[in-house]
Amino acid sequence: MWLQRDVTLRAHPRGFHLVTDEVVSGVPELDDVEVGLAHLFIRHTSAALTLNENASPDVRRDFAAWFDRAVPDGAPFFEHTLEGPDDMPAHIKASLLGSSLSLPVRDGRLALGTWQGVYLCELRDRGGERTVTVTVQGQSRSDP
Amino acid sequence: MWLQRDVTLRAHPRGFHLVTDEVVSGVPELDDVEVGLAHLFIRHTSAALTLNENASPDVRRDFAAWFDRAVPDGAPFFEHTLEGPDDMPAHIKASLLGSSLSLPVRDGRLALGTWQGVYLCELRDRGGERTVTVTVQGQSRSDP
Amino acid sequence: MWLQRDVTLRAHPRGFHLVTDEVVSGVPELDDVEVGLAHLFIRHTSAALTLNENASPDVRRDFAAWFDRAVPDGAPFFEHTLEGPDDMPAHIKASLLGSSLSLPVRDGRLALGTWQGVYLCELRDRGGERTVTVTVQGQSRSDP
């Protein structure tokens, strides 16, 4: 089976946000996958997806603290400044973090580790809604 | 359907280069995929693939500026210096950026966002030609 | 064909380790795949998988040297310190490096470049055993 659908994530403030449930609720057909893969793909170049610790909000704040220091807004060597001081850092962070996740699916659920969750990395000050294309493939539980 | 083919990218100078068309033209069978995924895999450890902004050349120059500062050539703590001052930084940048991309395919085309393009990240001073293994899987438009 | 299995990697010390053989030996059914993809997924948020140079041990030491400088243990701006000074840096490094690899399979083997190998990135001081979920899909060599 193949399924491909765009899931819209509501606007989030700049930072790192746990969105596992928001994404999964957009593809209820996951229930029917016995074994497979789910591919999450964000259709933007100033936001990213990553997998990390799903429990402590301070982990997500520390992500922002580190990335904002590693790729500072308005660094003097950036030439691409037309779209604001947060734009070029957003592009670089997006490539460091990645635009997609491939996740194993088993018995109708994402087969994540106990502490793993999907982060939306909103890298712009005002990113707005973000679209994630979810592609699910695998063996259906209802196959003979 | 499954398709797997090596696509040779011509030699590019050190830097970040938009190669979406160069890759896609190597797999014309994409036309026939109704829904699926395309996996691009670079068979090298000193070059990488990433997805980012496809419009402004200054974005790609700023990528080089940031990465060259973050992982400087000839950093004094590197032990692996036998292959030149640009070699070890190339390896580290390759792992930061990643060696593969999985991209959704829909109606015979890569289903990228409006501003997304595939970057070849040439991380060596003289990297030469690079080979990308493209694997396409999906449902064919000609299936009954 | 679809195959999904958890492969346990023995405990490794903090650092970067070549584990291609350890992973591949856990999925002998790869032999039967004519063309396909292997997805390796680490079920942890303080360890990662990446692909890099498979020959020189000093490359792997330089990886540790760079990452430990880029994301230092006990950086003063981290709030999430309850699990030790190596915990928060491990989370950030895990997202920089990535939790999964998708690798082309051809004629029963991983179709890697000559110099490519799978690194286990053990980012904690004492990470213990790590579980990698391997998902293999493709066309079987025994299909008619």
Interval A49-83: pLDDT, tens: 999 999 999 999 999 999 999 999 999 999 999 99
Q: Which of A11, A9, A94 is nearest to B116 (CA)?
A: A94
Asked if pLDDT for residue C143 goes beyond 90, the answer is: no
Report, as an integer, the average pLDDT of B112-127.
Answer: 98
Task: Count CA atoms closer than 13 A to C49's CA, side-chain side.
Answer: 26
Q: Maximum Cα–Cα distance for chain B, whole Å?
A: 62
Count CB atoms within 10 A of the CB of residue A14: 17
Pick from C50, C65, C106: CB nearest B95? C50
Q: Which of A123, B100, B15 is nearest to C102 (CA)?
A: B100
Output Rg (C-alpha) for chain B, integer angstroms. 17
Q: Of all helices (H) and strands (E), which one includes residue C6?
A: strand C2-9
Q: Which of C50, A4, C118, C134 is nearest to B103 (CA)?
A: A4
Are the beta carbons of C102 and B39 separated by less than 8 Å?
A: yes
Count CB atoms within 10 A of the CB of residue C144: 3
Question: What is the structure's pLDDT at B142?
Answer: 84
Q: At what angle do helices A87-97 and B87-97 cross, to 10 degrees?
A: 90
What is the DSSP code string of C39-93? EEEE--SSEEEEEEESS-HHHHHHHHHHHHHHS-TT-TT----TT-TTHHHHHHH
Give bridge partners of residue C90 from the DSSP assignment.
none
C20, C59, C68, C137: best to mutate for the B interface, most B CBs within 10 A: C59
Asked if pLDDT for residue B118 goes beyond 80, the answer is: yes
Sheet of C15-18, strand order:
C15-18, C116-122, C47-53
Pick from A39, A70, A91: CB nearest B59? A91
C-alpha to C-alpha distance for B41 and A97, rounded to whole angstroms: 17
Report, as an integer, the average pLDDT of A2-21.
Answer: 98
Are the beta carbons of A91 and B56 separated by less than 8 Å?
A: no
Count CB atoms within 10 A of the CB of residue B94: 25
Give bridge partners of residue A4 from the DSSP assignment.
A135
Residues in chain B with CB shorter than 8 Å from the CB of A79 are: 58, 61-62, 65
Question: What is the structure's pLDDT at B54?
Answer: 97
Report, as an integer, the average pLDDT of C111-117.
Answer: 98
* C7 Cα to chain B: minimum distance (Å): 22
Asked if pLDDT for residue C56 goes beyond 80, the answer is: yes
Are the beta carbons of A39 and B97 separated by less than 8 Å?
A: no
Whether the model pTM is above 0.90: yes
* B96 Cα to chain C: minimum distance (Å): 6
C-alpha to C-alpha distance for A67 and C71, rounded to whole angstroms: 10
Count CB atoms within 10 A of the CB of residue B126: 10
Residues in chain A with CB shorter than 8 Å from the CB of B98 are: 98
- Give SS3 for A67: helix
Report, as an integer, the average pLDDT of C117-132.
Answer: 98
Report, as an integer, the average pLDDT of B34-58.
Answer: 98
Give residue for tokens 């670089």. Answer: A92
C-alpha to C-alpha distance for B12 and B122, rounded to whole angstroms: 7
Question: What is the structure's pLDDT at B75?
Answer: 97
Report, as an integer, the average pLDDT of C37-50.
Answer: 98
Q: Which of B46, B47, B43, B16 is nearest to C59 (CA)?
A: B46
Instruction: List the chains bordering chain C where 3 or more Cβ pairs fall under 8 Å.
Output: A, B
The complex's ipTM? 0.97
Are the beta carbons of A78 and B65 separated by less than 8 Å?
A: yes
> What rounded mean pLDDT belongs to chain B?
97
| Higher-scoring residue by pLDDT: B142, C6 | C6
Residues in chain A with CB shorter than 8 Å from the CB of B18 are: none
**Cα–Cα–Cα angle for C12, C18, C20, rounded to 5 degrees:** 115
Give residue for tokens 């939790």. Answer: C99
Report, as an integer, the average pLDDT of B68-94.
Answer: 98
Q: If interface means Cβ-Cβ distance under 8 Å, which residues of chain A face chain C?
A: 35-37, 50-53, 56, 58-59, 61-63, 65-66, 69-70, 96-98, 101-104, 106, 111-116, 119, 137-139
Name the token pair of A24. Answer: 């999964």
Res. C142 pLDDT band, cuts 50 70 90: confident
Please report, rounded to a whole number, the percentage of residues in chain B having pLDDT higher than 90.
97
Are the beta carbons of A88 and B112 separated by less than 8 Å?
A: no
Are the beta carbons of A113 and C75 separated by less than 8 Å?
A: no
C-alpha to C-alpha distance for B112 and A68, rounded to whole angstroms: 27
Res. B144 pLDDT band, cuts 50 70 90: low
* C58 Cα to chain A: minimum distance (Å): 24
Helix ranges (DSSP H) in chain A: 20-24, 57-70, 87-97
CB contact at 8 A, A119 and A59: no
Pick from C2, C95, C137: CB nearest A52? C95
Report, as an integer, the average pLDDT of C42-70.
Answer: 98
Res. C12 pLDDT band, cuts 50 70 90: very high
CB contact at 8 A, C138 and B2: yes
Are the beta carbons of B94 and C61 separated by less than 8 Å?
A: no
Are the beta carbons of B80 and C56 separated by less than 8 Å?
A: yes
Asked if pLDDT for residue A144 goes beyond 70, the answer is: no
Closest chain A CA to residue C70: A70
Res. A142 pLDDT band, cuts 50 70 90: confident
In terms of residues, how long is chain B?
A: 144
B20, B99, B102, B107: best to mutate for the A interface, most A CBs within 10 A: B102
Task: Please name the amino acid found at residue C139.
Answer: Q
Res. C132 pLDDT band, cuts 50 70 90: very high
Give bridge partners of residue A137 from the DSSP assignment.
A2, A37
User: Lowest-pLDDT range, A37-46, A123-132, B135-144, C130-139?
Assistant: B135-144
